Amino acid sequence: MFNYSNILTELRKDGYYRERMAVDSPQDRYIVIKNKKVLNFTSNDYLGLANSDYLKEVFYKKIRKYGVGSGSSPLISGYSTQHKELEQELTRLTKLDSTVVVNSGYLANVGLINALSDKDVVILQDKMNHNSIIEGTRLTTSQLVRFHHMDYSDLSEKIKNIKNKIKIIYVDAVFSMTGESSDLKKLSSIASENDALLVVDDAHGFGVIENSSKNFPSSLSKYHKSDIDIDAYIGTFGKAVGLFGSFISGKRDIIELVIQKSKPYIYSTALPASLAGTILESLRYIKKNTSLNIKLSENIKIFREIAKKENINIQESETAIQTIIVGEPKKLKKIQDSALEAGMYIQAIRYPTVPKNNDLIRVSLTSSHSIKDIERLLYFLKTI
């Protein structure tokens, strides 16, 4: 008989056992864990909107009008005018052809790959891609080819060796465990040269990549539209937007294929109309209140300047995700516990989320953090 207890024992022994922390407060700059108020450096709520008074009031009004549930899948009666308006707004913001709203970032990737895949498709992925992209491919009959992290020479070499197949290059725009950003212009060029599709997951860039243009902030807005050609683009509502859910924008035929063929989309209950309507208002709020992104950008700059001055070995990242590689899971867990005792919550990221011996501290900065908050965290990191 298979002994699951042995697997759990090994996880504990090796330092990879995970425990859930029950939060007894709204997601915010401070949260309550184990009856203790702690400074939160773990949340993807990059613009501090998850506990926004404005959005809570919007949500309340939407619930009063549309209720709390959608009742069925989008292809039955779960698709509302609120979903439709949200999709139309996202199409305008991304400047792509069409959009479909889905239930989560994980399901967006699994569902898109499910719709596009068959045995004649090869999907080329960065080795640091999010698990949802990797596992989404493994669930299909498509071939998975992984190239070295942000190594576009390796990608070019591998894609040129693929003959008589449909090729899809699939990458994260911002890598969730390192904070690094893909070169979408270079990837577009490689895709064009090799007659491949380009799919980009911008979960950690949508809503938060500051730029000097008047476009909605995202990884797309860093480029001129003529410099990139993206076939499908994924963004989430559970991070910078402050709510829950996800979307896929892209070429019209691809989005229509998702609606017609994606099993996670077809067989899942739709997001509540009240939630879809609140997401729409959050997008408008982000676009109007540019100070949120300016503050986040300032916090990232301050964090990196102080860390380098204090010789804290942070990895290269210009985004809200800042990391320090520790490499030893048990030591890493002790650091996390020590931080909690000191009144700060930081995240210990361990295998299999990252490769073995690359276990790391992941700091998520938000626009809600003050300079004193950042200094307090960096002082703790220096002392350890």
Fold category of 53-288 in CATH: Aspartate Aminotransferase; domain 2 (3.40.640)
Six-digit token pair at 120? 């004649």
Which string of DSSP letters, residue by residue, matches 94-113? Answer: HTSSEEEEES-HHHHHHHHH
Helix (H) or strand (E) holding 347: strand 347-349
Give the residue extent of every domain in the chain.
Answer: 4-40+290-383, 53-288
> 3-class secondary structure for 177-212?
CCCCECCHHHHHHHHHHCCCEEEEECCCCCCCCCCC
4-40+290-383 matches 53-288 in fold: no
Helix (H) or strand (E) holding 266: helix 263-266
Q: What is the CATH number that goes with domain 4-40+290-383?
A: 3.90.1150.10
pTM (two decimals): 0.95
Residue 30 in 3-state DSSP?
A: strand
CB 202 within 8 A of CB 234: yes
- pLDDT truncated to tens, each residue of the chain (384 aa)? 678 999 999 999 888 898 898 999 999 999 999 999 999 999 999 999 999 999 999 999 999 999 999 999 999 999 999 999 999 999 999 999 999 999 999 999 999 999 999 999 999 999 999 999 999 999 999 999 999 999 999 999 999 999 999 999 999 999 999 999 999 999 999 999 999 999 999 999 999 987 666 789 999 998 988 899 999 999 999 999 999 999 999 999 999 999 999 999 999 999 999 999 999 999 999 999 999 999 999 999 999 999 999 999 899 999 999 999 888 888 898 999 999 999 999 999 888 888 888 889 999 999 999 999 999 999 999 988
| Alpha-carbon gap, residue 351 to 148, rounded angstroms | 18
| Alpha-carbon gap, residue 106 to 344, rounded angstroms | 28
